[in-house]
Amino acid sequence: MARTRVVIDTDPGVDDAVAILLALASPELDVLAITTVSGNVGLEKTTLNARRIVQLAQRRDVIVAAGCAGAIAGPTHYSGDVHGADGLGDLSWDEPDVPLHGEDAVELLRELVEAGPLTIVAIGPLTNLATLLGRYPDVARLVERVVIMGGASFEGNVTPAAEFNIWADPEAAQRVFAAEWPITAMPLDLTHQATLNDDDLQFLRSLGTEVGRRTADMLEPYARFHDEWYGNRDVIMHDAMAVYELIDPSAISKQGVQVNVETGGEYSRGATWFDRRRDHAESRIRVGLDVDNSKFVALLRERLATFR
Ligand code: BDR
Ligand code: CA
């Protein structure tokens, strides 16, 4: 089986952590590096969290490199207490011995793009990718595909109009959607279909492994946040959808779209205008529509159970 060469660009983040673990447990993917960006929490924390997750997975072969510490144009925003003050639910962790790569994430991305076919899984604000395009506009033509968790067709989560990853750096998102690379976007209206419930958390604990226990512990405060905000404890697996799409592309229905990101707007900054009025089959941008959650959860359980 040909494995897809992947870099995960991320701001861990509890759901980022699950997405990273899913990717690291999936033989379809060859995860070369994890590049971090400011997002749910500041860059120092997202980078530490990425090293914690790589350590948890016992995958020191995966490079961790730090990228941009703030948005390319507007103010830098974090996601408040959604993921806890440290970004991973405020558990206690030993200092990871996974090293931090000496080079900046944007330079590393360029090298990996030039070294062979590369898919970039972008599950945080799009600042690193916009910076890559700004420094090296030609790379867009070399990238196999960019799979993004971001945007919303119908309703945002940070504001009524905007989803967090786009709202945190709308100018970057606009630049990324306008570039020449093929994009698959996983918006909120898709990701809200992908949830884990208390039985799934119990299943993770019953594995009796460090990965199972820690993942359930990270998800617990996230479940409390969902309970307060949405009225039930089911946790939404936004970022794992971008990884799932790579593992099993047929599991998520999609349509071709044209996209614009609102960078002005008194009430709508960061909104994504996906034109879904018809299937833009000619477009290089596709948007995820629907997923079968029971199939996704079965795969996630199976893959997370492979960690020893
Ligand atoms: C996105 O925002 C972050 O809080 C999550 O990690 C996810 O990437 C969902 O809007
Ligand atoms: Ca994220």
308 residues of the chain, pLDDT tens digit each: 789 999 999 999 999 999 999 999 999 999 999 999 999 999 999 999 999 999 999 999 999 999 999 999 989 999 988 899 999 999 999 999 999 999 999 999 999 999 999 999 999 999 999 999 999 999 999 999 999 999 999 999 999 999 999 999 999 999 999 999 999 999 999 999 999 999 999 999 999 999 999 999 999 999 999 999 999 999 999 999 999 999 999 999 999 999 999 999 999 999 999 999 999 999 999 999 999 999 999 999 999 999 99
Rounded to the nearest angstrom, the gap between the alpha carbon of residue 109 and the centroid of all alpha carbons in its chain is: 16
Helix (H, G, I), strand (E, B) or coil at 102: coil
- Is the overall model pTM greater than 0.95, yes or no? yes
Q: How far apart are CA 131 and CA 201, in angstroms?
A: 37
Task: Tokens for 202, please give them.
Answer: 């119990």
- Res 81: pLDDT: 85
Residue to probe by mutation, ligand 1, list 8, 9, 40, 241, most atoms within 8 Å of CB: 40
**238 is an active site residue:** yes
Instruction: Give me the helices (H) in 169-277, please.
Output: 170-178, 188-191, 198-206, 210-230, 240-247
- Res 242: pLDDT: 98
- Res 136: pLDDT: 98
Domain range 4-304, CATH architecture: Alpha-Beta Complex (3.90)
DSSP state of 90: S
In ligand 1, which atom is closest to the CA atom of 188?
10
In ligand 1, which atom is closest to the CA atom of 236?
9
The residue whose two tokens read 């090296």 is: 136
In ligand 1, which atom is closest to the CA atom of 163?
10
Rounded to the nearest angstrom, the gap between the alpha carbon of residue 245 and the centroid of all alpha carbons in its chain is: 12
- With a 6 Å cutoff on the Cβ, whether 157 touches ligand 1 is yes
Q: How far is the CA of 191 from the centre of ligand 1 (A)?
A: 10
Domain extents in the chain = 4-304
